[in-house]
Amino acid sequence: MLSTSKQRSHDLGELEQLLMKFIWSHGRSNADACREALRPARSLKDSTIRTVLRRLEEKGLLKHQIEGRTYFYEATQPQRHFAARAVKQIIDRFCGGSVEQLLTGMVENKVLKQSELEELARRIASERGKRR
């Protein structure tokens, strides 16, 4: 039997995604600021927000510092790093680990525009030049 706990440790629920999006866009925040930011869409109890923040910290996505009696949370990695890892999981699960297969599918389904492909090709060429 396969264990999926390690694979799924960074899967985020809807509320976790909302909190991470807020912290990535606003930086270091406390539970009150998070709750207020989510209030227009969701009215949540303070204990709910604190539980979700703690879960995100257990998953390694947040870290905290204590000032007085207040916990301030910040992301442990930029959003683009998390997104890259999520895409790698998709590549591994659905494309047999082939980035080429993913990109081909994105081109065939018009997810990538010609200009985006050209920019990607420029970046790849630039990275190759740096490694030599």
H or E element, residue 12: none
Q: Looking at the domain that runs over 79-131, which CATH code has it been given?
A: 1.10.4040
Instruction: Report residue 132's pLDDT band, with 50, 70 and 90 as the boundaries.
Output: low
Residue ranges of domains in the chain: 14-75, 79-131
**In this predicted model, what pLDDT tens digit does every residue of 37-58 receive, in sequence order?**
999 888 899 999 999 999 999 9
C-alpha distances (whole Å) from 101 to each of 84, 91, 96, 112 are 16, 8, 8, 14
The dihedral built from the CA positions of residue 12, 17, 20 and 25, taken in this order, carries a sign that is positive
Quickly list DSSP for 33-93. HHHHHHTTT----HHHHHHHHHHHHHTTSEEEEEETTEEEEEESS-HHHHHHHHHHHHHHH
- Residue 70 per-residue DSSP state: E
C-alpha distances (whole Å) from 93 to each of 25, 41, 113 are 29, 33, 24
Least confident range from 4-8, 40-44, 102-106: namely 4-8
Q: Looking at the domain that runs over 14-75, which CATH code has it been given?
A: 1.10.10.10
Q: Note the pLDDT of residue 104.
A: 86
Least confident range from 9-13, 88-92, 119-123: namely 9-13
